[in-house]
Amino acid sequence: MGADGNYTRIFFDSGNQYFFCKTLKNYSEILEYSGFIRTHQTHLISADKISACVKTDGGYILMNDGSRIPISRQRRDSVLQKMMI
């Protein structure tokens, strides 16, 4: 999922993406205990779609589809902790 102002863009495995008129914060609160990780102000990802965690170049998550999701400095420790569980 990605934030786009007051909208959220959700990407699906099928390649489709849709815009919803709720903020990423709303989805983050709903999905907090369902295996989703907030890595950045603009990104919420499904933990079971993670391929690798790269700690160099500021840190990012490599997803199964090859996309790179940034990890903010403020969320880095939290993200790494959630990935160890």
Residue at 66: amino acid letter: G
Instruction: Give the pTM.
Output: 0.85
| Residues 15-35 pLDDT 10s | 899 999 999 999 999 998 899
Distance CA 52, CA 34 (A): 19
Nearest C-alpha neighbor of 50 from the set 74, 81, 83: 83
Residue at 40: amino acid letter: H
pLDDT value at residue 66:
92
Contact indicator for 44, 1 with CB cutoff of 8 Å? yes
Contact indicator for 59, 70 with CB cutoff of 8 Å? yes
